[in-house]
């Protein structure tokens, strides 16, 4: 059995990214378990049927409860809107299916913990979709930290800047509604930064944050799909119930200081997902808009040639890159998902937990909620409280 039989729930932006990843895996990583794209599930029968054809799934279905009970499915891939994650994940776990769930894992920390517990109780494999960990340049940062080549870490600063909802006439899509999305820039963008911080620096002690919703009302969306939507400026308006921007400070357990900013109101930044780490022996800088590059500095360089190196992480020495193209030939956004499902596939094949797992999802959710609490109560909140 060299296959991984998949049922996927959701078929928009993330559904497309995951489908492409499953489809690409055998060509570039032929030794991995081969994903078999059994069935894709959505509420709108004709739309999901069309998606199945385009994205290469054998079958389309509309009842996720049926799907998770099928014997010919090993793994449930959940990329439906965030408010649906919990119910599906718990049911899938009970049905003995491995689970690959998009981030944020859940709308609340309590929900996330329930999901983790369910998966552990069922003994299934679980993974959460923090795809940015799988950029080769980010892996290099991780390697430099873990090997001690950056020394003791003093600073982590990260910012995820977008500008796609700056127009006040941009409609009230589901990502701007707290009951569906959980939160705004914080949970959508900040969550990625938090996970990278956990991955690269470690756990946090305490946090304090600040957030704002700059545009408080928006036209009701008449139609929406993926990240885009249509609405009329003349039509009725609804209240934006999530944050447009959230910033927070943190102190890590290892003594490093952290600064985070997530915003959808940074004009000119389509998707600047960036971080910098400063250690006693060196620093690294990453920006996803130039995802093939990592800037690296070492204090040990000869004194007349000290400076940040622009490392193009496309040489075979870098994680995953031997499978791709010759040095200097770059990869893009979608490759993070291919590497992500490689880890998923390898972990299942090797009988171990994939990383990041639901535990990482829970940990991220704890920080998100601690920050929310710190904003509400206007005080530092310890992660121990969560």
Segment near a second copy (CB under 8 A); pick from 60-68, 73-81, 94-102, 329-337: 329-337
* Nearer to a second copy (CB atom), residue 237 or residue 309: 309
Query: Quick check: 358 binds a second copy (CB under 8 A)?
Result: no
Judged by CB under 8 A, the residue of 33, 194, 291, 348 near a second copy is: 291
Q: Which of residues 233-272 bind a second copy (CB under 8 A)?
A: 245, 247-249, 251, 255, 257, 259, 261, 263, 265-272
Q: Which two tokens stand for residue 127?
A: 């993974």
Query: Quick check: 2 binds a second copy (CB under 8 A)?
Result: no
Rounded distance, CA 222 to CA 172, Å? 9
Q: Closest Cα to residue 140, out of 328, 301, 291?
A: 291
**Minimum distance, C-beta of residue 209 to a second copy, in the bound complex (Å):** 8
**Minimum distance, C-beta of residue 169 to a second copy, in the bound complex (Å):** 13
Q: Closest Cα to residue 339, out of 147, 157, 171, 142?
A: 142
Rounded distance, CA 278 to CA 270, Å? 26
Q: Which of residues 4-43 bind a second copy (CB under 8 A)?
A: 13, 16-17, 19-20, 23-24, 26-27, 30
Rounded distance, CA 126 to CA 77, Å? 10
Query: Quick check: 213 binds a second copy (CB under 8 A)?
Result: no
Q: What angle, rounded to 10 degrees, do the helices at 85-94 and 109-122 form?
A: 10
Rounded distance, CA 20 to CA 25, Å? 9
Q: Closest Cα to residue 128, out of 358, 351, 352?
A: 358
Q: Which of residues 125-164 bind a second copy (CB under 8 A)?
A: 140, 143-144, 154-155, 157, 159, 161-164
Judged by CB under 8 A, the residue of 121, 223, 236, 333 near a second copy is: 333
**Minimum distance, C-beta of residue 65 to a second copy, in the bound complex (Å):** 28
User: 196 near 138, Cβ under 8 Å?
Assistant: yes
Judged by CB under 8 A, the residue of 3, 44, 54, 254 near a second copy is: 54
């Amino acid at each position: 059995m060299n296959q991984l039989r998949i049922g996927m729930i959701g078929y928009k932006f993330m559904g497309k990214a995951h489908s492409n990843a499953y489809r690409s895996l055998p060509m570039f990583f032929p030794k991995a378990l081969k994903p078999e794209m059994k069935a894709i599930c959505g509420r709108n029968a004709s739309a999901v049927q069309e998606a199945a054809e385009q994205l290469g799934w054998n079958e389309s279905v509309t009842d996720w409860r049926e799907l998770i009970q099928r014997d010919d499915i090993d793994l449930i891939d959940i990329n439906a809107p965030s408010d649906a994650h919990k119910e599906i994940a718990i049911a899938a776990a009970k049905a003995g299916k491995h689970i690959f769930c998009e981030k944020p894992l859940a709308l609340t920390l309590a929900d996330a913990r329930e999901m983790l517990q369910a998966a552990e109780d069922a003994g299934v494999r679980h993974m959460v979709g923090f795809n940015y960990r799988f950029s080769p340049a980010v892996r290099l940062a991780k390697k430099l930290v873990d090997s001690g080549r950056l020394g003791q870490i003093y600073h982590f600063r990260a910012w995820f800047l977008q500008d796609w909802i700056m127009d006040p006439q941009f409609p009230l899509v589901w990502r701007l509604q707290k009951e569906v999305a959980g939160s705004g820039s914080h949970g959508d963008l900040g969550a990625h930064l938090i996970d990278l911080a956990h991955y690269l620096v470690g756990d946090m002690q305490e946090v304090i944050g600040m957030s704002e919703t700059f545009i408080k009302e928006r036209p009701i969306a008449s139609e929406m799909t993926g990240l885009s939507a249509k609405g009329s400026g003349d039509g009725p308006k609804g209240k934006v119930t999530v944050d447009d921007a959230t910033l927070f400070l943190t102190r890590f357990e290892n003594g490093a200081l952290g600064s985070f900013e997530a915003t959808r109101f940074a004009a000119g930044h389509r998707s600047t997902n960036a971080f910098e780490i400063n250690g006693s022996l060196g620093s690294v800088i990453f920006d996803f808009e130039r995802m093939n590059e990592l800037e690296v500095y070492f204090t040990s360089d000869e004194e007349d040639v000290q400076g940040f190196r622009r490392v193009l992480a496309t040489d075979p020495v870098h994680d995953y890159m031997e499978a791709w193209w010759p040095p200097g030939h770059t990869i893009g956004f979608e490759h993070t998902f291919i590497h992500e499902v490689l880890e998923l596939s390898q972990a299942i094949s090797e009988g171990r937990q994939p990383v990041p797992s639901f535990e990482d999802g829970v940990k991220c959710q704890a920080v998100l909620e601690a920050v929310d609490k710190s904003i509400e109560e206007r005080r530092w909140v310890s992660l121990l409280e969560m």
